[in-house]
Amino acid sequence: MPPRRRLTQTEQDHFVEVETFADGLSKQYLLCRTYGHSWQPHRAGRVRDVSGHPTAAWEQTLRCKCRVKRTMLLNSEFDIVVSKHDYRDAPGYLTEGIGRITGHSKAALRKVAIMRLIAAEEAA
Ligand SMILES: [Zn+2]
């Protein structure tokens, strides 16, 4: 384990912001935010040119239970050229106003996930 260093005020403030954000997330969003998406194949096919003819490139879309989609553009050798996420069907998933969740702020997600699990176990 890395040595524990003192957190800056900015890090402490962001931790609290992320914790508040995580408190408001649905169960599925919190799972995806904390442990990563659970991708399932959605659709795949050849990329078509402007006139509708198939090219040598491929496109595959994956979808998670949280409704976030990931679309990958692959070359003819199936190497991923571009990968992008689509959050349009997952309102509230993005961290608008609090920025990216990185570093120690990820611990805020784990904290909320663990506290919810304990609360659910105690209620059962
Ligand atoms: Zn997800």
Handedness of CA 100, 28, 34, 86 (dihedral sign): negative
Give me ligand 1 centre to Cα 38, in Å.
6
What percentage of residues in the chain have a pLDDT greater than 90?
90
Give me ligand 1 centre to Cα 29, in Å.
6
Same domain, 99 and 74: no
State yes or no: pLDDT of 3 exceeds 70: no
What percentage of residues in the chain have a pLDDT greater than 70?
98
Same domain, 87 and 49: yes
Full-prediction pTM beyond 0.75? yes
Same domain, 76 and 65: yes
State yes or no: pLDDT of 57 exceeds 80: yes
Give me ligand 1 centre to Cα 79, in Å.
23
Give me ligand 1 centre to Cα 32, in Å.
4
- Name residues with Cβ closer than 5 Å to ligand 1, which is an ion: 32, 37, 64, 66, 68
Mean pLDDT on 41-68:
97
Handedness of CA 37, 39, 43, 45 (dihedral sign): positive
47 phi and psi, to 5 degrees?
Answer: -75, 135
Q: Find tokens 């997330």 and name the residue.
A: 25
* Count of the separate structural domains present in the chain: 2
Tallying the residues shown for the chain, one arrives at 124
Same domain, 80 and 65: yes
Give the span between the Cα atoms of 22 and 30, in whole angstroms.
Answer: 7
pLDDT at 1 (0 to 100): 62
Q: What is the residue-averaged pLDDT of the chain?
A: 95
Task: Establish if 30 belongs to a structural domain.
Answer: no
pLDDT at 5 (0 to 100): 83
Same domain, 19 and 43: no
Give the span between the Cα atoms of 25 and 98, in whole angstroms.
Answer: 14
Please answer whether residues 68 and 86 qualify as being in contact, where contact means their C-beta atoms are separated by less than 8 angstroms: yes
Give the span between the Cα atoms of 113 and 22, in whole angstroms.
Answer: 8
Give me ligand 1 centre to Cα 78, in Å.
24
pLDDT at 46 (0 to 100): 97
By residue range, what is the domain housing residue 48?
Answer: 37-91
